[in-house]
Chain A
């Protein structure tokens, strides 16, 4: 199991190459090889959604993929959402979460954000039921979801301009 394979991926616009074991999970690769620790791991069995990232624009659970499976592909993680370091540079979704108090411990938050970015792109004016449906694959133990729903509504408004 100790042979290593080279993996090259583009993450948040930057290209990385690393030598990894074929069995290394993509979540571990991002977190521990690339030190992009914003992607969190809550279950490692595909249920909680904390590890959600965008793979070629689609939300996927990085704990269910091996790093070697994303060879040559493009990934966006939570670190790639804001356009700069200042509060004004936050993505509208991040701003929505901030203003509506959509996070408490914040551990689940990156997964929610990465799930919701493509959702709002496809569905700019969702109903509350649609939002709840979109959230239902991600677990949050702190908020009771209500303020996450409000955060998404706020973000949708902002994105519609």
Chain B
């Protein structure tokens, strides 16, 4: 019997390096003669730049160069559009992408205005403080709804308004559904801004080697290959003259795939200008302004239902805040639009959104990437409908699930990958049942909660479902090589930020080649090792790169079997790959080591067959026809301290279905980490902007991330509904943990407080906000504008 590697909780190959401090992160790159960069950033969110005085800075000893937009000459141009708008009918989209350094005016606090290059970071920062920028402050656009008022100041004056995009997608006829409905639930929902706060800030080291005419860039990016391609184009170099390395990355979560950040455009250029290596490492405060953020939507939504709780239709009209620019196109609001329908069979859907420019940091996907907003609206509408109809909240969900025989299920709208939103597979009821059982639903609502309530305690339960579109195209590739040592190397283009790819991908190869996982060496995120690819986003690593690696390993396996059958003069069917050897089944003595075979496959003298490819190596690509839809159910029980409004989570259950699982240990880690971020987003983290658009809490003292005492232990269980869209049957799992936590909190908090008429229709919450809601305070945030 050959050893199985797929599906095993194998500990990670990459860990010894990380545990001993040997793993290379961008800020660990030290090069001789390296210069350091600091940026001057605007304190104001919206202002005209009158004058920049750099004289004092230029004179400071140790300063090598200072640049403003003027000094960039022809190199100054807005960044590229990362994702074009999808082919939806009558779509409006105004492209306004970020600039390397602000010229004429600044559009958000933290926008870079000047750049200092010096012999040390300390000197660069001193000099940056000596640069004087004279601004003419302009009124800021902060509130989403006010942004679209006719007299609102404009973020981009060449546009008629702050409207960045307008999209309508429709399935069936909501108007007809509404006429037939027994009940219509209509509400306003608000989801406010947060930040990814990866523990590692961004950073770039660029090294133009003048003599070899070659540029090497170390970048905290999730997409090294597109960065290489873009840099080559911007700098007028061949792609072969540019090498981009994304080494170990200290957490990505989406914002590390902005493409191009101003600093990413500038550092390589500066290195070419000065012919010296240059380094810039973002500090935490900069990260709060200069790294992209997410969330910030206001929905006016309604649901039409029959008396027995069947959904006839949903209508949702929302505003999405893109910040000062929109380089990532419409990915986030399209995700909200397309994830809202969730696990439910909704015959009629009308969804309309407007994207608005504001004087706030740029919005691009952050774990969940807009999906949580859709899930929040849908799940809350269902809760409100259940209450109105006197139905159990689990039952109303069950009644509306897409039945298992309806897959593939076509939602008849266009998804972020420009393909129709078709769910590949799913089986939602067993997941719900499992979650109800694990949270002990009936006992809690029938015995536990009444008993505790009688004691005056505020305990509540939440249970919500979600889907997650994962593993979208276009494609990834991989090269698998058996080396003379018998070890196997695997090269792929995506970057990795802690997802355990070094191990899960090795497992796929081990499964095919019978080589121990520890003997498989994965190279990822180095454009010199693998040329083609798109990057790590949308929970696609395991699905898209995973299947490419699987295909590459299968091809190498075929080569091994063919060669060995000739060498050993036996039929291929009689061979097996075990312990790094290929051998005749049941005859261990007949084995050839894979390393020996690799040497034979690459002779240095003598003749080979015509068309023979050297080596035991294969390159393969995988591009799914469309994304795979994962799903799940989260449930929790929490208690609220009525004195402090602090929340204690007593039990948290996740039942998740992401198809086949490569490594359950890694999957659990992804889910637990996602839930922790979701909890932060739901109850701890909120970016507060002043009315002028400056950020009031740009530090870890004021922006609270959940700690080990805030995040509970999570009980999880998995169902496996394989995806028919890829040979491994996998679906992505990277974002699932974070997606449904908002509506889960809202439902559980409402249930715990048990105050008639109190509805929670916003995220994030906080103890303070709960007090306000209980007192019935109508604040700016929840007031109905017009």
Contact = CB atoms under 8 A, between A and B. Distances in A.
Interface of A: 1-2, 21, 23-24, 28, 31-32, 35-45, 47-48, 50, 77-79, 81-82, 87, 90, 94, 97-99, 101, 103-110, 113, 131-133, 135-149
Given A23-B122, A38-B20, A79-B20, A107 B25 contact: yes
B477 interface: no
A93 B226 CA distance: 39
Contact-size category for B: 35 or more
A141 B11 contact: no
A98 B19 contact: yes
Contacts of A28: 121
Given A47-B701, A98-B15, A143 B21 contact: no
B700 A106 contact: no
A135 B199 contact: no
A108 B20 contact: no
Contacts of A44: 283-284
Interface in B667-716: 668-670, 672-677, 699-701, 705, 707-709, 711, 713-714
Nearest to A41: B27
A132 B709 contact: yes
Nearest to B22: A38
A131 B711 CA distance: 13
Contacts of B122: 1, 21, 23-24
Contacts of B676: 141, 143-145
Interface in B92-130: 121-122, 126
Contact of B21 (A77, A103, A104, A149): A77
B262 interface: no
A108 B28 CA distance: 15
Nearest to B665: A101
A43 B669 contact: no
A44 B125 CA distance: 15
B700 A47 contact: yes
A94 B498 contact: no
From DSSP, what is the main secondary structure of chain B's interface residues?
Answer: loop
Contacts of B253: 141
B577 to A, nearest CB: 25
Interface in B18-36: 18-25, 27-28, 30
6 contacts: A37-B24, A43-B284, A45-B700, A78-B19, A109-B18, A136-B708
A139 B200 CA distance: 11
B714 A105 contact: no
Contacts of B498: 103-107, 142
Contact of B700 (A38, A139, A148): A139
B250 A107 contact: yes
Interface in B644-663: none
Contacts of A143: 669, 672-673, 676
Contacts of B198: 105, 107, 141
Given A140-B199, A146-B711, A101 B20 contact: no
Contacts of B737: 144
B20 A98 contact: no
A35 B30 contact: yes
Contacts of B250: 40, 42, 105-108
B709 A94 contact: no
A81 B27 contact: no
A146 B672 CA distance: 7
B705 A104 contact: no
Contacts of A81: 20
Contacts of A141: 196-199, 251, 253, 673, 676-677, 705
Nearest to B670: A104
B199 A50 contact: yes
B27 A31 contact: yes
Contacts of B249: 105
A142 to B, nearest CB: 5
A108 B709 CA distance: 17
A104 B499 contact: yes
A146 B251 contact: no
B85 to A, nearest CB: 31
Nearest to A77: B21
Given A106-B248, A144-B711, 10 more contacts: A82-B19, A103-B15, A103-B19, A104-B500, A106-B15, A132-B709, A137-B707, A138-B707, A142-B669, A144-B669
A101 B669 contact: yes
A39 B22 CA distance: 10
B60 to A, nearest CB: 10
Contacts of B201: 42
Given A42-B199, A107-B251, A144-B714, A98 B673 contact: no
